[in-house]
Chains A and B, each alone.
Chain A
Amino acid sequence: AQSVTQPDIHITVSEGASLELRCNYSYGATPYLFWYVQSPGQGLQLLLKYFSGDTLVQGIKGFEAEFKRSQSSFNLRKPSVHWSDAAEYFCAVEGVAGGSYIPTFGRGTSLIVHP
């Protein structure tokens, strides 16, 4: 069975500082990997995804993520955080189980941005 761990429930950063949100997954092969963002009162929005190819993936809003097979990780980064980045961030994996693609989300990391 696949699983996702986001070890940090909350992360607090100052505006302009760099950010790294951690995500570890468990799956027998390389799954599809995603990062979604959920702003208050908004639906989840895809930031970026990875399945194969270059292990450094660029996404929207200046985010990037790096896939590390040896560590089963897919950490999200941003070099300079803006106040508008304050939101809930979810890592997700989607692996094939019996021919069906079943998505599993982590519990999320809440990002707090101080001015």
Chain B
Amino acid sequence: DTGVSQNPRHKITKRGQNVTFRCDPISEHNRLYWYRQTLGQGPEFLTYFQNEAQLEKSRLLSDRFSAERPKGSFSTLEIQRTEQGDSAMYLCASSLAPGGNEQFFGPGTRLTVL
């Protein structure tokens, strides 16, 4: 197993466009997390899945953001009508349930909104 992978690694888009990121977790991990990280800050929790069920979403998460994890394997994070404030590193992590287990992080997708 090669760990958590994320694609693309970098994305540059114009304001108002939609973007989609993909995360492939470690295969036996049933939990998958999405975070956003801006410069000088720690990862900010966005949402997480256990298998295919989205169990929690941050109250800070705009309705322009949506995430899916069909069949409990890979996950996608879509941002609609991007804004400059969406520019950040988007991190994916996976772990085994229940909570409190080590999270394994991917390298992230850096989004730049022009």
* Chain A residues close to B by CB (< 8 Å): 4, 6, 9, 32, 34, 36, 41-46, 49, 51, 90, 92, 94, 96-97, 100-108
Chain A: minimal CB distance from B45 (Å): 6
Inter-subunit contact A46/B103 (CB<8 Å) = yes
Our count of residue pairs bridging A and B at CB distance below 8 angstroms stands at 61
With A51-B100, A96-B99 as contacts: A102 and B43 at CB distance below 8 Å: no
The majority secondary structure among interface residues of chain A is strand
Judge whether B43 and A101 touch: CB under 8 Å: no
CB <8 Å contact, A102 and B56 = yes
CA distance A104 to B93 in the complex (A): 14
With A43-B107, A44-B105, A49-B102 known as contacts, the answer to whether A103 contacts B41 (CB < 8 A) is: no
Distance from B19 Cβ to chain A, minimum over Cβ atoms (Å):
20
Contact between chains at A101 and B42 (CB < 8 Å): no
Other A-B pairs beyond A44-B91, A105-B44, 5, CB < 8 Å: A49-B102, A97-B56, A103-B33, A105-B43, A105-B45
Measured CA separation A49–B35 after assembly (Å): 20
The number of residues on chain B lying at the interface, defined by a beta carbon within 8 Å of a beta carbon of chain A, is 25
Interface string of B103-114 (1 = CB under 8 A from A): 111111000000
Q: Does B100 lie within 8 Å of A32, measured CB to CB? A: yes
- Kindly state the separation between the CA atoms of A9 and B33 in the bound complex, as whole angstroms: 25
The answer to whether A43 and B105 touch across the interface, beta carbons within 8 angstroms, is yes
User: Is residue B55 contacting chain A, with contact meaning CB distance below 8 A?
Assistant: yes
- Please state if A43 and B91 are interface contacts (CB–CB under 8 Å): yes
Q: Which residues of B contact A32 (CB under 8 A)?
A: 99-100
